[in-house]
């Protein structure tokens, strides 16, 4: 065959052999960038979600007030079908209305502390003798059960009427690494590298240890499937309930725990009790900064008498409250029955005001829909926002939404809407700049994101990772075979200072990064809503019935 004929044949075959070029409307990308950078409202959103209404513990008055504000704001932007969709009974509401802690003897000092969620109050100021009861946090349920048994035997009959210092001292070392970090090019290259596959059958999940180190802990949850996470959380709840029952039955007046990590006045603390109505209540419990906890412990070890005064006032009604999500949408055109979703979890813990976890993500998601609406962009598919409740307790809001509208992961019975979700895009890893996306092992999505993110390379959005990433609401969609994605973000201070801490406040959010994220997500959502086909899907997972 002559070379000319070979070239003609190849030219005829190429259009069939190669995938169609992913379409990107650069004129719209330019308009989105201008709106996101020059007319941004994202920090206004964050101000109200944190300084005005935070924290937003699921079921709390703060969560409801913030949701009411967000709903009204979304309506003011012209969004449709704005609603607060219930997902069923959550459990007990909780909020703290007053707290103070003081060292009275041997010298007066104001103590830096944080009340822990679902802890009762003290019914006015209380003081008492402080005793130190060493307790070690163990990484596996089996080891923790053994530690509980040891603690119960060592402290039986010794706690009544006492202020109980519960925990271990910590030897502080000068920090060797910066608290604030942005991804370097080598970091991003490592993030983009596929991990070595490890069959789940080789894991003995009953012996897996949840690491204390934040980075290793995040990697742990990225590996563990959702049904194993549920079992781990349930076991942790059972062990906490055993401890609370013992402390209450033994008559402890107040329980003081140390921040499990951090220093310099930063306290990492979540909950002492449970949202479940039938769970045993702990004594009034709060966490102290490591430095203050250790000072008191040293005094006691040296036989120096110590007296504290604590006042904690909480609202902790026994009647369960309903959980709910906030939803809103921009109706589509010729494919309006198909939906593109963008979401973030709306709830937070109560130590700070829930700024980086996840007021930042919620503010960005609201900004995404504001941008698309303000520009008057016509989209074929409906774009829907989801602000999820109960993420911190186990993705409750997004799981319930997926089960109600799409599929139940335990049976994999599919609802009609399962075939109509074009894609779900989630943001929830602090306030750091968006650097790319996790494909959640969805190889077919790679060329799509490569095209969509190319206009943002000069803003640092360069990385596409095949890796799974865990710990947030895209997992609820992925669990039933829907294309759900979480974006890669610069870590900043997320793991070192703000995640679930008293420093999770507005001041630790980077405004420029949120404006950048808003532009990136708005562009991705816009192109997903206009794409000829929906996002490609992985094979449907198998049903995972509860044991």
In the chain, CATH 3.50.30.30 sits at: 95-177+206-315
Whether cis (ω within 30° of 0) applies to the bond prior to 358 is yes
In the chain, CATH 3.40.630.10 sits at: 28-93+321-418+429-475+492-530
- Architecture of the domain made up of 95-177+206-315: 3-Layer(bba) Sandwich (3.50)
CA separation, residue 514 to residues 49, 264, 300, 372, 428 (Å):
14, 27, 47, 16, 12
Regions in the chain scoring below 50 on pLDDT: 1-19
- Residues paired with residue 484 on neighbouring β-strands, in sequence order: 424
pLDDT value, residue 220: 66
pLDDT value, residue 20: 55
Q: Rounded to whole angstroms, how far apart are CA atoms 55 and 413?
A: 37
**Opening angle at CA 479, ends 475 and 485, nearest 5:** 40
Contact assessment for residue 336 and residue 133, using Cβ atoms and an 8 Å cutoff: no
Q: What is the CATH number of domain 28-93+321-418+429-475+492-530?
A: 3.40.630.10
Tokens of 485: 């994605």
**Opening angle at CA 66, ends 65 and 67, nearest 5:** 90
Tens digit of each residue's pLDDT (9 = 90 or more) over 281-291: 999 999 999 99
Whether cis (ω within 30° of 0) applies to the bond prior to 55 is yes
CB burial of residue 532 (10 Å; 0-12, 13-18, 19+): exposed
pLDDT value, residue 142: 84
For 93, other C-beta atoms within 10 Å of its C-beta total: 21
List helix spans (H) across 135-225.
Answer: 141-155, 185-192, 214-223
| Those residues with Cβ within 8 angstroms of residue 1's Cβ, 6 or more apart along the chain or in another chain | none
Residue 18 three-state SS: coil
pTM assigned to the model: 0.93
Tens digit of each residue's pLDDT (9 = 90 or more) over 79-117: 999 999 999 999 999 999 999 999 999 999 999 999 999
Residue 539 per-residue DSSP state: P
HEC secondary structure over 315-379: ECCCCEEEEEEEEEEECCCCEEEEEEEEEEECCCCCCCCCHHHHHHHHHHHHHHHHHHHHCCCCC
Q: Rounded to whole angstroms, how far apart are CA atoms 122 and 145?
A: 29
With tokens 């409307």, the residue in question is 25
pLDDT value, residue 320: 95
Q: What is the largest CA-CA distance in the chain?
A: 100
With tokens 């990433």, the residue in question is 469
């Amino acid at each position: 065959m002559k070379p000319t004929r070979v070239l003609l044949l190849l030219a005829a075959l190429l259009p069939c052999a190669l995938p169609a070029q992913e379409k990107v409307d650069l004129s719209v990308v330019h308009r989105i960038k201008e709106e996101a950078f020059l007319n941004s409202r994202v920090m206004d959103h964050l101000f109200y979600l944190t300084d005005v209404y935070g924290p937003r513990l699921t079921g709390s008055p703060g969560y409801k007030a913030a949701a009411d504000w967000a709903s009204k704001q979304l309506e003011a932007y012209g969004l449709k079908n704005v609603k607060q969709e219930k997902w069923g009974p959550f459990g007990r509401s909780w909020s703290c209305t007053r707290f103070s802690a003081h060292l009275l003897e041997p010298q007066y000092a104001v103590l830096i502390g944080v009340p822990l969620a679902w802890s009762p109050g003290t019914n006015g100021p209380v003081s008492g003798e402080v005793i130190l009861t060493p307790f070690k946090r163990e990484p596996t349920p089996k080891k923790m059960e053994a530690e509980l048994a040891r603690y119960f035997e060592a402290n039986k009959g010794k706690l009544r009427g006492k202020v109980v210092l519960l925990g271990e001292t910590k030897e502080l070392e000068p920090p060797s690494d910066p608290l604030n970090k942005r991804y370097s090019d080598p970091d991003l290259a490592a993030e983009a590298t596929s991990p070595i596959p490890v069959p789940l059958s080789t894991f003995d999940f009953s012996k897996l240890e949840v690491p204390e180190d934040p980075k290793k802990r995040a990697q742990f949850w990225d590996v563990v499937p959702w049904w194993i996470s549920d079992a781990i959380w349930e076991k942790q709840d059972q062990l906490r309930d055993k401890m609370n029952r013992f402390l209450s039955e033994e008559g402890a007046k107040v329980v003081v725990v140390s921040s499990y990590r951090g220093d310099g006045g930063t306290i990492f603390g979540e909950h002492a009790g449970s949202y479940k109505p039938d769970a045993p209540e702990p004594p009034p419990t709060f966490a102290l900064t490591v430095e203050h906890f250790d000072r008191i412990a040293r005094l006691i070890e040296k036989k120096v008498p110590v007296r504290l005064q604590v006042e904690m006032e909480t609202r902790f009604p026994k009647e369960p409250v309903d959980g709910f999500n906030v939803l809103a949408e921009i109706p589509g055109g010729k494919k309006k029955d198909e939906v593109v979703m963008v979401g973030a979890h709306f709830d937070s813990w109560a130590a700070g005001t829930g700024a980086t976890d996840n007021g930042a993500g919620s503010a960005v998601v609201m900004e995404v829909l504001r941008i698309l609406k303000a520009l008057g962009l016509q989209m074929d598919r409906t774009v829907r926002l989801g602000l999820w409740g109960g993420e911190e307790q186990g993705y409750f809001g997004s799981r319930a939404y997926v089960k109600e509208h799409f599929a139940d992961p335990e049976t994999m019975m599919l609802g009609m809407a399962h075939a109509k979700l074009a894609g779900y895009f989630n943001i929830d890893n602090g306030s750091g700049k968006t650097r790319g996306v996790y494909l959640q092992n969805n190889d077919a999505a790679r060329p799509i994101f490569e095209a969509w993110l190319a206009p943002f390379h000069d803003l640092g959005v360069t990385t596409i990772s095949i890796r799974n990433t865990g710990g947030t609401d895209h997992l609820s969609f992925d669990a039933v075979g829907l294309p759900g994605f979480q974006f890669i973000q610069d870590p900043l201070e997320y793991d070192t200072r703000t995640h679930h801490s008293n420093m999770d406040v507005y001041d630790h959010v980077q405004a420029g990064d949120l404006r950048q994220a808003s532009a990136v997500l708005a562009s991705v959502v816009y192109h997903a809503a206009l794409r000829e086909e929906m996002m490609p899907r992985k094979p449907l997972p198998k049903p995972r019935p509860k044991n």
